[in-house]
Amino acid sequence: MSTRAAIAKLNTNTNEAKFIYCHSDGYLEYTGKILNEHYNSEDKVDELLSYGDLSIINENIGEKLDVSFNDYTAFANKKQCRFYMRDRGEKNKEVKSVADLSNTKNAENALLEYGFENMDVDFVYAFDTRLQKWYVYDNINSMGDELDESLVRVSF
C-alpha cells in the first residue's frame, strides 16, 4: 500500500492553493526530506507543480526517459521524478487549484479538506509563499508543523 501525499503551494497574496497528488512514499522521511532539501524555493515549487500529479518525487525534475514508466530503476538511478502526464502520457493530471477564498486560513482549510477527504492522502505538504517555507500536515494533526522541525524529530 502506498503512502499518498498532496504537495501544494499556498499563496497568501492571491488566497489560492495549487496542488498535485503524489502516489508513493509520501511519508516525512522521504517526500518531506526531498521537498525540504531540493524544492525549497518558490521557483522550484512552481516547476514541480507545473508537471502535475506524480507517481513518486525525487531530487530533481529530470526529463522524459526512453524507458517504460514501470522501469523504477531507471528513474531512481537518475534521481528524478516520475510524472503521470510527462512519463506515462496520462491526461487530466494537471495541477489543481483552490481559489477565490476570503483569507489564507480558508485556503489552507480548503486544501486540507480536499486532500484528506477527496484525495485520501496521508500527508499534505504546503509551501507558504509569504514565509518561504514548507509545512506538513497529517490527517491527525491539522495544525501544520514547519517541515524542517518535523524532520528533526524523525530519526533517519
Q: Is the model's pLDDT at 13 over the cut of 60?
A: yes
User: Residue 122: its pLDDT value, please?
Assistant: 94
Nearest to 45 by CA among 141, 146, 125, 140: 125
Q: How many CB atoms lie within 10 A of CB 137?
A: 24
Provide φ and ψ at 31, rounded to 5°.
Answer: -60, -45
Give pairs for 130-136: CB < 8 Å, separation 24+: 130/12, 130/13, 132/41, 132/42, 134/32, 134/35, 134/36, 134/40, 135/10, 136/28, 136/32
The reported pTM is: 0.91
* Residue 139 · residue 118 · CB < 8 Å: no
115: which 3 cell numbers?
Answer: 486532500
Mean pLDDT for the stretch of residues 103-125: 84
Nearest to 62 by CA among 45, 87, 40: 87
38: which 3 cell numbers?
Answer: 531540493
Return the higher-pLDDT residue of 143 and 70: 70
Confidence band (pLDDT; 50, 70, 90) for 25? very high
pLDDT, tens only, 56-97: 999 999 999 999 999 999 999 999 999 999 999 999 999 999
pLDDT, tens only, 111-120: 888 899 889 9
User: Residue 113: its pLDDT value, please?
Assistant: 87
Return the higher-pLDDT residue of 48 and 104: 48
